[in-house]
Amino acid sequence: MTQTAISPTGPYLAVTFDDHYIDDWFDAADIFRAHGARVTFYAYGFPHVPQKAITKFYGLIGQGHEIGCHTSSHINAVETAEKIGLENYVKSEIVECINGMRIFGFTPPSFSYPYSKRSAELDAAIIPYFTTIRARADTFAEAMTWEQTKPLIKSRNADLVRADGATLRTADDVVHELRLAAQGQRSMAIDAHGISDKDDAGYHHITRRGLDYILWNARRLGFVFVTASEFIGAAR
């Protein structure tokens, strides 16, 4: 796949979102635009996605954002591959998702694992279909030590509010990690789910104010925003 040319500055930051919170994502376009951030949205459920959502995905792509694959049915990859076999998992969850997205003219260049459940065997089977695949780093140290020239991206979670309304972390926690990465000229990726100011949203999310604050600080710290498929090769 052809990657967009990236300015040889940095460090780089890939901002990513998972699942199917298209209304939240689309409504946050003004925040992304204000900071010049092009981000990646990993969606699942194709081709069974409402036309209203498809229209919003077109709108996000038109603004320079990326739509990635998040499987067909959002099931645990490790458990399912063990149950039905690796080849059948790839066929039903990866190939079907890609084909479902292509019906609407989307060619997903990147992939993220549901629940970040992965294995080296799964990586090897899935990587040929994408430029990058994304999982999650459980610790900041892990996010700072994985080999950033490989197709596997390990992101740090930036959800601030849990599905039950409890606090997961603060925006300052996320900015602190960005600051440490910037000091070492280390590129990063972060992931979240919905974008909402409602504590009772019913799903993990980052607040609009928190998102704005994190992106503002990322720019101030010198990060260059890239999509997930641009990350490998740009990062150093």
**Of 20, 15, 27, the residue nearest 54 (C-alpha):** 20
- C-alpha span between 127 and 205 (Å, rounded): 28
- C-alpha span between 234 and 236 (Å, rounded): 7
Residue 49 makes CB contacts below 8 A (sequence gap 6+) with 20, 43, 104
Set out the domains of the chain in order of their start, with CATH numbers.
13-234 (3.20.20.370)
Q: What is the pLDDT of residue 6?
A: 46
- C-alpha span between 6 and 235 (Å, rounded): 10
Q: What are phi and psi of 154, to 5 degrees?
A: -115, 115
Provide the angle, in degrees to the nearest 10, between the axes of the packed helices 208-220 and 171-183: 20
CA dihedral 16, 21, 24, 30 (to 10 degrees): 40
Six-digit token pair at 82? 């063990």
Kindly state the greatest CA–CA separation across the chain.
48
In DSSP terms, 40 is beta-bridged to: 16, 66
Distance between start and end Cα atoms, the chain: 20
pLDDT in tens, the chain (236 residues): 333 444 556 799 999 999 999 999 999 999 999 999 999 999 999 999 999 999 999 999 999 999 999 999 999 999 999 999 999 999 999 999 999 999 999 999 999 999 999 999 999 999 999 999 999 999 999 988 877 767 999 999 999 999 999 999 999 999 999 999 999 999 999 999 999 999 889 999 999 999 999 999 999 999 999 999 998 765 54
Six-digit token pair at 4? 């967009």
- C-alpha span between 196 and 209 (Å, rounded): 9
Residue 46 near residue 72 (C-beta atoms within 8 A): yes
- Neighbouring C-beta atoms of residue 146, cutoff 10 Å: 13
Q: What is the pLDDT of residue 9?
A: 67
**Of 97, 112, 154, the residue nearest 19 (C-alpha):** 112
Q: What is the pLDDT of residue 199?
A: 82
Q: What is the pLDDT of residue 10?
A: 73
